[in-house]
Chains A and B, each alone.
Chain A
């Protein structure tokens, strides 16, 4: 009886968690799918007043921004997590870094945008894809650092001892054994951080700015899906609203695809029975 009750509650909670995601997804398909066409993926936005046009430049722009953000956020974040869990444990520096990471995690994204604006955009006197990538990259660091630390701390002491007892130097044992053992969790952390910044709009307003033409140049303003969605959503035209819905749908599908792709690629090397 109580067993059934507990199971029932667990199922109910699961449904409550999944329901909003499904609802959002269904609503996006309902609103946006009809505006999806080949043009959407191959054309750039038409000048205001003209019908049609697509978001091809925004998709490319998001890819550039997220690529730059990941190549900043992932290595620095993982290195920070390794330091916190393995080399700096208990030191004052480590405690300071952990505290900073937690605070950084709570900084509103618009504040991050303003900070990068004054650090890069204001100095260079122009908006750029580079500054947008840096803003998103900095936002990835705390999530990646803290999950990496947590995952490394979960690796059993016995596994570390086994490596040390073979005469493996500590740094080698950390990089080749401990990090490898924790890698599934670390990858999950990176994916979470990636998915979070993929939908960020606020920090890009002050940095990447947006661009209605093709551009992949890091030194020029660049288009991004969330920015384009924002621009279209606040416009007064119905067909632009529909394009915004389609853009939101594409953004979610691209995030899911990217995460699944990374999962697939990283799981291919996992052996039978590996935990």
Chain B
């Protein structure tokens, strides 16, 4: 089951560049939450702070509090533990090119020492079914490399890989921006299905996409969160002038 995310006074830097400033936000459990805003506004940095990937860059720094369920992730846990509970799907599909489809999905478990083959088989099948890829790859699981799939299939493989470690939260950083419309709509259907089991945070440049998949939407601008509200309210009647300017296409 998904858990809620509570963000208090989050600040993040790349070297001297203050990319996130005083973000306060409550992301509800088992819902999809979209983050929109122009390029460079800090929305990708924000999701990377939720699974502590931000700090993998040696020049990056972060302050503030992020709670996932009851866990204060910057105080009570190590980064690797957080990342097992918070899955991430990246902008460009990034399967492991030398691993088979099966091993790609099982990677998170196998690389953490999990060895029970019967259970792994079950988890791989369930994860691929959950990411709507099972029917297309079930005959080639151990024969083909993850890199042999099409772009849209690779992205669903990456979603299956993230789901296999059974996370509570799924972060998606523009998961469909490198994909064609058909693959995009498959990913969107998937988000719709998955949010009953996971808390989903999706960064997107595509406002229609935010409107289609997310109950709540946050608008980021210049490292600050301008507005956070129900998606229909953001798109029909935003309270901030800057949000209105952005969604009506006056800038960004």
A pairs with B: yes
| Residues in A lying within 8 Å of B, measured CB to CB | 156, 158-159, 161-169, 172-173, 176-177, 180-181, 183, 270-275
B88 at the interface (CB under 8 A from A): yes
Contacts of A173 in B (CB 8 A): 111
Q: With CB as the reference atom, state the residue of chain A lying closest to B83.
A: A167
In the complex, what distance in Å separates the CA atom of A23 from the CA atom of B95?
45
Contacts of B53 in A (CB 8 A): 161, 164-165
B181 at the interface (CB under 8 A from A): no
List the count of A-B residue pairs having beta carbons below 8 Å apart. Answer: 94
Contacts of A271 in B (CB 8 A): 98-100, 143-145, 148
Shortest C-beta distance, B85 to chain A (Å), equals 8
In the complex, what distance in Å separates the CA atom of A183 from the CA atom of B99?
12
B107 at the interface (CB under 8 A from A): yes
**Given A158-B90, A159-B96, A274-B98, A166 and B108 contact (CB-CB distance below 8 Å):** yes
B158 at the interface (CB under 8 A from A): yes
B97 at the interface (CB under 8 A from A): yes
| Residues in B lying within 8 Å of A, measured CB to CB | 51, 53, 56, 80-85, 87-88, 90, 92, 94-100, 107-108, 111-112, 140, 143-145, 147-149, 158, 161-162, 165
In the complex, what distance in Å separates the CA atom of A159 from the CA atom of B149?
16
Contacts of B100 in A (CB 8 A): 271
Asked whether B81 lies within 8 Å of A167 as measured between CB atoms, the reply is yes
Supply 16 A–B pairs (Cβ within 8 Å), ascending by A.
A159-B94, A161-B53, A161-B56, A162-B95, A162-B158, A164-B53, A164-B83, A165-B88, A167-B108, A176-B111, A177-B96, A271-B100, A271-B148, A272-B140, A272-B143, A272-B145
Shortest C-beta distance, B109 to chain A (Å), equals 9
Q: With CB as the reference atom, state the residue of chain A lying closest to B104.
A: A162
In the complex, what distance in Å separates the CA atom of A185 from the CA atom of B243?
50
Contacts of A270 in B (CB 8 A): 98
Q: Chain B's interface: helix, strand, loop or mixed, by majority?
A: mixed
In the complex, what distance in Å separates the CA atom of A156 from the CA atom of B98?
13
Asked whether B94 lies within 8 Å of A166 as measured between CB atoms, the reply is no
Asked whether B112 lies within 8 Å of A181 as measured between CB atoms, the reply is no
Asked whether A274 lies within 8 Å of B111 as measured between CB atoms, the reply is no
Asked whether A274 lies within 8 Å of B145 as measured between CB atoms, the reply is yes
Give the residue of A158, A167, A181 whose beta carbon is less than 8 angstroms from that of B80: A167
Q: Which 5 A-B pairs have the closest CB atoms?
A: A273-B148, A167-B84, A274-B145, A166-B108, A167-B83
In the complex, what distance in Å separates the CA atom of A163 from the CA atom of B97?
12
Shortest C-beta distance, A180 to chain B (Å), equals 5
Shortest C-beta distance, A177 to chain B (Å), equals 6
In the complex, what distance in Å separates the CA atom of A166 from the CA atom of B95?
12
Q: With CB as the reference atom, state the residue of chain B lying closest to A179.
A: B98
Asked whether B112 lies within 8 Å of A168 as measured between CB atoms, the reply is yes
Contacts of A158 in B (CB 8 A): 90, 92, 94
Asked whether B111 lies within 8 Å of A166 as measured between CB atoms, the reply is yes
Asked whether A274 lies within 8 Å of B147 as measured between CB atoms, the reply is yes
